[in-house]
Chain A
């Protein structure tokens, strides 16, 4: 082992992430190289000092009771869900309450627009979380088949929509299967496609959020998200695929739906 290799494994050794064989190799190198031995000793001392310092913070008592309270009263749940976002806009709403010159109607429509955007943003976040969860938990598919005529009926009785499932293999997007997922507390159909190594989750629901809000295109945590409404259904597509390729996917799905 040379000094560069040592350097790349030094922290894994300190953190107990190395198997016994590698740990021995790293330690053997340190035994014969004083510069590396010093480095190891210094980072290890820092790690131990941090562990000994008990840095984890105790949640304040009032926060604990606030969280506990919100987890006991079922009625408060729906109302409190977007409290964080609402509280962030407190100043904005306050402005209207304090006698703005705008008519009440204009104010109300503005408020609605802001709320809906927040809600749509919250759902976009959830879509990405659901996508990441589907990759992490090894639970990408409940029904695994490239046959659209198997995937579509599988959703019967599991969600309240019959999600359109189209085979785009010829267009470079392979149908992998389908999954039942939850967004905003509602069961939604997730249809999984693949292009090269990239997975695409297409979430289909009758309605996610307040209404069939406008189309949306953005990037969250490095994942591209596209949203549109078609034939009375809400569609959300997300993937680590490049933006223009995801757009291509969306166009193909839209075209297939129009021609069906």
Chain B
């Protein structure tokens, strides 16, 4: 019995060492898939518990894509519960200066224009969060979770060719949204009236 308890502790320790370093990745995907912070936290918790239960049978692939695949299943169960209603993004449009700062000009962007400001990330996050599924998912897996096409294909359960076409579509959508956001930037001068939503 004591041996069992020890083996259990040891197994749990190995799992923690392998899985906890990916908590930010798991949380990020949950955040974008579920679009709601408290649902995302519940899903992350459930994902780690499920992963622990399956840890004995785990034989690869790499830990990060494995965890993200489990998380995706958890999120699918949540989608099934929610039914058809699509939860609107909770990345609130920034009414701060972020909106008004051209962050990226194409195609003659000079390196200086690519200098990143914090407001930029806020705007990028919002534009990504507004993408429809499954384009949102593929962008997050590629640009935030840094996964390869092969890993994304395995997680989404589609061929690599589908990943490539979804990513192309997603980036094209993101690019036009980005351009639109910039076009909406008012000419410098009087500040836009507060409270006016775009």
| A window 25-65: CB within 8 A of B | 38-39, 41-43, 45-60, 63-64
Contact (A45, B104) CB under 8 Å given A56-B25, A70-B48: yes
Name the residue on A nearest B170 (C-beta): A11
Classify the interface of chain B: helix, strand, loop or mixed. Answer: helix
Q: B41, B61, B80: which has the most chain A beta carbons within 10 Å?
A: B41
Interface check B112, CB cutoff 8 A: no
Q: A43, A49, A122: which has the most chain B beta carbons within 10 Å?
A: A49
Which residue of A60, A83, A133 is within 8 Å of B42 (Cβ)?
A: A83
Classify the interface of chain A: helix, strand, loop or mixed. Answer: helix
Tally B residues with Cβ within 8 Å of A.
68
| Complex CA–CA separation, A55 to B25 (angstroms) | 10
- CB-defined contacts of A184 to chain B, threshold 8 Å: 53
Interface check A102, CB cutoff 8 A: no
- CB-defined contacts of B68 to chain A, threshold 8 Å: none
| B window 139-198: CB within 8 A of A | 142-145, 148-149, 154, 157, 164, 167-168, 171, 174-175, 178
Interface check B94, CB cutoff 8 A: no
Which residue of A50, A66, A137 is within 8 Å of B59 (Cβ)?
A: A137
Name the residue on A nearest B150 (C-beta): A17
| A window 79-114: CB within 8 A of B | 80-81, 83-85, 87-88
Contact (A46, B171) CB under 8 Å given A59-B23, A83-B42: yes
Name the residue on A nearest B157 (C-beta): A221
A50 and B124: CB pair below 8 A? yes
B143 and A88: CB pair below 8 A? no
A55 and B60: CB pair below 8 A? no
- CB-defined contacts of B27 to chain A, threshold 8 Å: 57-60, 63
| Complex CA–CA separation, A68 to B20 (angstroms) | 8
A47 and B45: CB pair below 8 A? no
| Complex CA–CA separation, A129 to B41 (angstroms) | 21
B45 and A67: CB pair below 8 A? yes
Name the residue on B nearest A52 (C-beta): B116
| Complex CA–CA separation, A43 to B107 (angstroms) | 9
- CB-defined contacts of B70 to chain A, threshold 8 Å: 129
A56 and B145: CB pair below 8 A? yes
- CB-defined contacts of B87 to chain A, threshold 8 Å: none
Interface check A12, CB cutoff 8 A: yes
Q: B25, B48, B107: which has the most chain A beta carbons within 10 Å?
A: B107
Interface check A139, CB cutoff 8 A: yes
- CB-defined contacts of A49 to chain B, threshold 8 Å: 103-104, 114, 116, 120, 124
Contact (A63, B41) CB under 8 Å given A41-B106, A41-B107, A222-B157: yes
Interface check A167, CB cutoff 8 A: no
Interface check A259, CB cutoff 8 A: no
Interface residues on A, range: 35 or more
- Min Cβ gap B106→A in Å is 4
- Min Cβ gap B66→A in Å is 9
| B window 17-50: CB within 8 A of A | 20, 23-28, 31, 41-46, 48-50
Interface check B84, CB cutoff 8 A: no
| Complex CA–CA separation, A7 to B164 (angstroms) | 11
- Min Cβ gap A236→B in Å is 15
| Complex CA–CA separation, A49 to B25 (angstroms) | 19
Given contacts A42-B106, A129-B69, list 10 more A-B pairs with CB under 8 A: A15-B167, A53-B120, A54-B121, A67-B20, A84-B77, A88-B81, A122-B77, A126-B50, A129-B73, A133-B57
A residues with CB within 8 A of B: 7-8, 10-12, 15, 17, 38-39, 41-43, 45-60, 63-64, 66-68, 70-72, 74, 77, 80-81, 83-85, 87-88, 121-122, 125-126, 128-129, 132-133, 136-137, 139, 181-182, 184-185, 220-222
6 A-B interface contacts by CB (under 8 A):
A41-B109, A56-B144, A59-B26, A70-B48, A84-B46, A87-B42
